[in-house]
Structure 1
């Protein structure tokens, strides 16, 4: 079978993160605006390819002053680098429905390799009969 493309549905997806603050607690946040396209052969998830783009200005940690600081030149410098991008390069099966998705992450104008630990949740049809696919990542860095 050939590769099938899916666009990530932002109403049923999220880009979330948590970071340690003062080395004693975790601050959680989300990027509210993002888009991604997945492409793979439904019979072979290791053919998975992803292109994703996150609007860095859409960061929210539920604290306005902190969010403005994160958008500043000191962190994301969203005026100069408005997008965070990911382009996958390889997908490897590591266990039952578990994969390592490697690729290049570009953040703040710097591109570095990264690997996400990803779980394939499966396929299903929505109430309108459209095929849906689910993945999740619980990578920690």
Structure 2
């Protein structure tokens, strides 16, 4: 009887180690989170956030149970034009003094193809939270110079900035209401 109980406990512990949760941290040296808006409908102005953080937690090797969190420091917004960056941080757009961060937390990560996913979650910008869905391409996993498994992803999506109270309509500001989002991110196992 004791032998059976011991075998049962051993089997349980082994099964727990097989489904161990893996936590990944953002490799900030290999990550870029950017956006693009059209200017008066004739060109694209691109920017990014220089200070970002993200985590990914998953038990499954295919990441279908992944939970992803992301934050960006609004004061780190960068379009390579100081005047424009100051304007974007002002009360007329992001109001970085009152809303210093934007954030995202996933609600699902569904596989749609061999290397493609739909990432659903809630994004909070300018104090407003809305549901959003991103397209994700899983670029693979490699053991990098950090000597740890690292997974790479390309994430794209769109949102309407007016849904979050950021700025005024394109007619008056010249900035498109629709903003394209693109991130290239690497997550390293900790």
Range class of TM-score, shorter chain: over 0.9
Aligned to 1:100: 118
Aligned residues: 141
* Gap regions ≥5 residues in structure 2: 1-18, 160-190
Alpha-carbon distance in structure 2 between the residues aligned to 1:73 and 1:128: 41
- Corresponding residue to 2:44 among 12, 23, 26: 26
- Residues 47-103 of structure 1, C-alpha deviation per residue, up to 9 Å, x if partnerless? 111111100000010011111000000110000000000000011111121000000
Higher relative contact order (CA 8 A, sep 6+): 2
Report the equivalent of 1:36.
Answer: 54
Equivalents in 2 of 1:40, 1:21: separation in Å? 39
Query: CA RMSD of the aligned region, Å?
Result: 1.2
TM normalised by structure 2 equals 0.71
Structure 1 portions without partners, runs of 5+ = none
Structure having the higher Rg: 2
Give the number of the structure whose residues are more often helix, by fraction: 2
TM-score with structure 1 setting the length: 0.95
1:74-113 equivalent positions in 2, closer than 5 A: 74-113=92-131
Equivalent-residue separation in structure 1 for 2:87 and 2:23 (angstroms): 37
